[in-house]
Amino acid sequence: MIHISFEKRIYSSGFIRMSITICAIIFALLTGGVFLYAIGVNPFSAYFNVCSQIFGNKWGIEDLLLKMSPLMLTGISVALAAKMRLWNIGADGQIYMGACAATWVALTFGGSNNLTLLPMMFVAGITAGALWIFIPAFLKAHFNVNDIITTLLMNYIAINWVDYLLFGSWRDPNSLNFPITALFAPAATLPMIKNINLHIGFLIGIFIILLIYFLLSKSRFGIYVNIVGNNPNAAEYSGINKKKLIILIMMISGAIAGLAGVIELTGVHHRLQQNISLGYGYTGIIVTWLSRAHPLGVIFNAFFMALVFVGGEIMQMKAGLPVAMIYLFQGIILFSVLGSDVFAEYKLKIKRTA
């Protein structure tokens, strides 16, 4: 008889964890393949086609990096909060509120010169993102109200608020009744990186991640976050003001998501409209899980999730698959990675007994 049992690992190295995550992703792609097969698509040729489409030409890669930019920001936003065992499920709402505040600046000061408009939009967007999460942060810090619920619910308020403006006072009279604002002045456009069709939001994302990584591993701030995140009792013992830190970290997290909103607005859409976030906030959660909240891991996993996005779009166009397929893949990947955690903590032991 074969006897299977789990045995606790004393220590699981970064290598083991990474290999397990990779196995989980492969497992997810295989499982997703079953669904593809079920609707009459050969999964292997589909995966191959998607990869060759994306990596076979410049536009494919540019599109990939373009999608990766907001995911890096929402990923690091969620990951930073996760370092303190806080969950920012509301990055989507902060994206909308950031974009909304930046739009107000663009519409109000549209005539400003090139040098001031864009920075003003950024400041407005970042502030709006930070303020939008302040309510959940305050409730969490002072009354221990569940941050998952509050940040999530704030999303719906933000999305409907933007809808209200788009269907109301901000609607462009020349939009043929579409719920969109007028195009912003050219001064409100994010500069491009030289020689490639990609805005500098990509570089901003990389910079923010490296900055957070540095602060977390090499500063007093990082020590605080590590202590509160890993052992709140020890924080009390060593005199760290937990409440202040919770509010600060959540507001930074919100600010980064708000920044993602401004970048999407000024780099991609150039006007406020519905669906400026394709669920980037939620995908950021998956990115965080895949990278186990390690800042550098966020870069790689934002790349991977962007691949899922772009791949899904290609299949949508080429094979006529529904958009739900993207979310299905995201879901399977998240499930696999969450499930694979068992193997990071425990060793599978197979014994043969007579």
Partner 1 sequence: MPDQLSELKYPVLELRNITKIFPGVVANDKINFDCRSGEVHTLLGENGAGKSTLMNVLSGLYPPDEGEIFLRGKKMHFSNPSHAINNGIGMVHQHFMLIQNHTVAENIILGTPQSFNLKLSEISNRIGELGEKYSLTVDPYKKIQDLTVGEQQRVEILKVLYRGANILILDEPTAVLTPQESEALYKIIRKMIKEKYSIIFISHKMKEVTLLSDRITILSKGKAIATIKRGEASINQLASMMMDEAGREEDKKNIFLESEKQPEKSSEEPVVKIKDICAQDWLGNQVLHNIDMEIYKGEIAGLAGVSGNGQVALAEVLAGMLDFTKGNYEFNGKRIDRADVIKMSKLGVGYIPEDRKKFGIVERMPIAYNFLMRDYTSSDFYNKFGILKTDKIYEYTKSRMKEFDIRAASEKTAVGTLSGGNIQKMILARELSRYLRFLLACQPIRGLDINASGFIHETILKAKQNGLAVLLISEDIDELISLSDRIYVICAGKIVGSLLKKDANIEKIGLMMTGVDISSCKNPD
Residues that bind partner 1 (CB under 8 A): 7, 9-11, 218-224, 226-227, 230-231, 233-234, 236-240, 347
Residue 144 or 275 having the CB closest to partner 1? 144
Minimum distance, C-beta of residue 163 to partner 1, in the bound complex (Å) = 42
Residue 38 or 143 having the CB closest to partner 1? 143
φ and ψ at residue 244, rounded to 5 degrees: -60, -45
Contacting residues for 144 by C-beta, under 8 A, at least 6 apart: none
Minimum distance, C-beta of residue 220 to partner 1, in the bound complex (Å) = 4
Minimum distance, C-beta of residue 316 to partner 1, in the bound complex (Å) = 43
Minimum distance, C-beta of residue 85 to partner 1, in the bound complex (Å) = 12
Residue 146 or 219 having the CB closest to partner 1? 219
Residue 98 or 229 having the CB closest to partner 1? 229
Nearest Cα to Cα of residue 75 among 332, 291, 349: 291
**For residue 199, what are the β-bridge partners?**
192
Minimum distance, C-beta of residue 224 to partner 1, in the bound complex (Å) = 8
Measured between alpha carbons, how far is 259 from 241 in angstroms, rounded to an integer? 27
Say if CB 282 and CB 78 are below 8 A apart.
no
Measured between alpha carbons, how far is 92 from 281 in angstroms, rounded to an integer? 4
Measured between alpha carbons, how far is 249 from 254 in angstroms, rounded to an integer? 9
Minimum distance, C-beta of residue 216 to partner 1, in the bound complex (Å) = 11
Residue 7 or 111 having the CB closest to partner 1? 7
Tokens of 107: 């519409």
Residue 80 or 260 having the CB closest to partner 1? 80
Residue 218 or 318 having the CB closest to partner 1? 218
Minimum distance, C-beta of residue 87 to partner 1, in the bound complex (Å) = 19
Long-range contacts from 272-276, C-beta under 8 angstroms, 24+ separation? 272/99, 272/100, 272/103, 272/162, 272/165, 272/166, 272/170, 272/180, 272/181, 273/166, 273/178, 273/179, 273/180, 273/181, 274/162, 274/163, 274/166, 274/179, 274/180, 276/95, 276/96, 276/99
Minimum distance, C-beta of residue 221 to partner 1, in the bound complex (Å) = 6
Residue 173 or 239 having the CB closest to partner 1? 239
Q: Compute CA distances 162 → 97, 103, 125, 168, 190, whole Å.
A: 8, 10, 14, 10, 22
Nearest Cα to Cα of residue 343 among 2, 1, 22: 22
Measured between alpha carbons, how far is 81 from 94 in angstroms, rounded to an integer? 14
